[in-house]
Amino acid sequence: MSRRASTPLGHVIGPLLRGKLSVRTVLDRHFGEGALRARVLRALTSRDLATATITSSRARPLETRCARRMLALVLMLVERLDAHGVACGSAIWQGSLARRLGLSTRRTQPGGPLGGIREVQRYVSILEASGALKAHQPDAARVTDAMRARPRLSIVRGASVVRRWSYNVVRFVGVLPHQLSQLARKQRTRPADHAQLEARARAQLGHALRIATTQLEAMQATLAYLRDRPRVPI
């Protein structure tokens, strides 16, 4: 199985990029009818590709290669969200995302920007302008080593400088649809990992119960734990 197919949402991302799954089908199956779907749909059809502003002309067709890539980018970010709803790390490095989207990472002209990375930046800008997510690159000096790439040699004004760039940090605005969050959790888990996942789920339940202010909130947190807790692999 390829690395792409083995990621949590690879079985959706691959067919979507190849045109085997339509954009409409993915939205209907996994995005529900909530705010995130509306914001993503706005990004796919109503934003200008160059400026990220609302286009004055008619909406773009939904079933285009650009729309498939932008929606696939959303799924790539979703599958990398941690327990705090944050995506960060080498898997969402712009070059990594560009390669998974089938975009070239070669420079469009000598000394110019990388073509595929520029396209990823454009998609993120459009999704931000549509209110679907927020992304930023924190100061590398203010984050932990886990949030920084390995040291790299750069040429600055003719001098060699070793730098460590921080990874981008992405958060989705609002709560993810239940269908989408459940889909991201459905990945093959080794039996040895189950105890760790169960302990994490219990810790999250304990935190939810501590901050609950009403009995109803405590019951909802318990039900969410019972519904979403990791199952023992068969």
> Taking 70 as the threshold, does the pLDDT of residue 111 lie above it?
no
Q: Is residue 159 part of a domain?
A: no
Domain tally for the chain?
2
pTM across the whole model: 0.72
Q: What is the secondary structure of 44-58 as a DSSP string?
A: HHTB-TTT-SBPSSP
Q: Hey, what amino acid is at 232?
A: V
For 17-29, how does the pLDDT look when each residue is reduced to its tens digit (9 = 90+)? 999 999 999 999 9
User: 9 with 37, same domain?
Assistant: yes
User: 119 with 200, same domain?
Assistant: no
Q: How confident is the model at residue 109 (pLDDT cuts 50, 70, 90)?
A: low
For 188-210, how does the pLDDT look when each residue is reduced to its tens digit (9 = 90+)? 344 446 677 778 778 888 887 88
User: 90 with 134, same domain?
Assistant: yes
Q: Which two tokens stand for residue 91?
A: 């898997």
For 51-92, how does the pLDDT look when each residue is reduced to its tens digit (9 = 90+)? 777 776 667 889 999 999 999 999 999 999 888 888 888 888
User: 217 with 119, same domain?
Assistant: no
**Dihedral Cα 140, 143, 149, 154, nearest 10 deg:** 20
Residue 71: domain span: 3-144+170-180
Q: Is residue 158 part of a domain?
A: no
User: 63 with 28, same domain?
Assistant: yes
Radius of gyration of the chain (CA): 20
52 to each of 115, 127, 133, 141, 179, how far by Cα in Å?
Answer: 17, 8, 14, 30, 28
